[in-house]
Chain A
Amino acid sequence: MRYERPTTLQAASQLLAKEKGSAYVLAGGTDLLVRLRTGLIEPDLIVDIKRIASTRTVAKTATGFKIGAAVTGAELGENAALKKAWPGVVEAANLIGSKQVQGRATMTGNLCNASPAADSVPALVAAGAKVVIAGPKGKRTILVEQVPVSPGKTSLKKGEIIEAILLPKRPPRSGDAYLRFIPRTEMDIAVVGVGVSLTLDAKGLVKDARVSLGAVAPTVLLVPEAAKAIIGTKLDAKAMDALAAAASAACRPIDDKRGTKDYRIKVAGVLAKRAAKIALDRAGGKV
């Protein structure tokens, strides 16, 4: 195995593109190192992207925020401007693992690991986040929900690296939230995760909304029917019930040791309501 730490995206992309064996990108390493040490993967090349300056910063841009691929959960939690604009995204990222894991783990890694239960991903999808991908043919930008294609697999092609996550600018009266259900209080994998982002109009009606579910399908789900159920409403009890029904209807979960299909379907609706309530409060709305 070779270890490389290029200082430019082009060099990193070339190293990955030219490698004939198996090549992996390393940022926080909290998933990669476990797979490496347990023998699940035997890389020929590891490309550490942390020396590439643009992967290490959170920049406030004209269109929102650009979060470098190697920015850690701890760094996100310390960014007051980001927390204010996207509290749901930051709380989702900060739910992952312990303080030790937060010191290294990244949202981009959480996304590229492509686990159906990744905590930060539903929050990013609800937020309408995009990723900037650098590759041998230059850069392209796609939506976060277009990255995972099945458990453990992404749509990234050979030689491609995610440089950063883009979060849009927040209109006034906007709020987001992420909730997950776990049987413990901390340090566990989501049985169900729900991200909700919404914007209210001047009268307090929901103008825009995005609802996303994790751990209830092979990949993260964006659920337009759930958003439709609350758009134009004040999130009264009837709208909340319609939201829950739409969220539950979208689930295609499996039975596993953490929860049954029926349980996950039920919990998705309950959590969607609770997350929507928090997002509403953050947007300054009242029921």
Chain B
Amino acid sequence: MSSVHVSTTINGDPTDYVCDADETLLDVLRNRLGLTGAKEGCSTGDCGACSVTIDGRLTCSCLVLGAEVDGAKIGTIEGMANGEKLHPLQKKFIEHAALQCGICTPGFLIAAKSLLDHNPKPTETEVRFALAGNLCRCTGYDKIVRAVMDTAAELRRA
């Protein structure tokens, strides 16, 4: 297995690593860089628990090779809060009890932020479609959708 040297920016921090050619970005984040917020659910791009952004584009880090992101800007859940100050989406997820076991939550937050960055006033249908790539087996989704809608409303007032 040949290894690859990669220079990238993760949550604004320049980051270098060496990974195996067949290693996924998810494995690099979790096992080499200690960024364990992105979770491995299915490894086939169906569950969205490993969601990150690459150059601002929402994607499943399990479907990306670590070697591919040289020169790219990666956004993970670890970069969402500003120090101790939670992102409005994180606060609303707590307020609405939009999580139970929490495994899917980082992925939902990343996907929801990506939606609100592109569409500050989504309809409920748009929220449901935008989050169709994230699976939650606990909440039944309604609380998550309400938390996202409420965040969008609050951000519009701010």
Contact = CB atoms under 8 A, between A and B. Distances in A.
Residue of A3, A38, A48, A74 with most partner-chain B CB within 10 A: A3
Interface size class of B (residues with CB under 8 A): 20 to 34
Interface stretch (B8-16, B53-61, B87-95, B141-149): B53-61
A11 interface: no
Contacts of B2: 1-3
Contact of B45 (A36, A46, A74, A97): A97
B36 interface: no
Contacts of A29: 63-65, 68
Interface residues of A, number: 27
B71 to A, nearest CB: 9
Given A3-B2, A3-B4, A103-B58, A98 B68 contact: no
B13 to A, nearest CB: 22
Contact of A99 (B43, B54, B65, B111): B111
Contacts of B67: 3, 5, 48
Contacts of B59: 100, 103-104
A26 B64 CA distance: 10
A37 interface: yes
Given A1-B22, A38-B44, A50 B58 contact: no
Interface in A94-125: 97-101, 103-104
Q: Which 8 A-B pairs have the closest CB atoms?
A: A98-B133, A3-B21, A103-B59, A103-B57, A100-B133, A3-B67, A100-B60, A33-B63
25 contacts: A1-B1, A1-B2, A3-B2, A3-B22, A5-B70, A26-B65, A30-B63, A33-B64, A33-B65, A34-B44, A34-B45, A36-B22, A50-B68, A97-B133, A98-B132, A99-B111, A99-B133, A100-B48, A100-B58, A100-B59, A100-B60, A103-B59, A186-B129, A187-B46, A187-B132
Given A1-B2, A5-B67, 12 more contacts: A1-B20, A2-B2, A26-B68, A29-B65, A34-B43, A34-B44, A99-B114, A100-B48, A104-B59, A104-B64, A187-B46, A187-B132
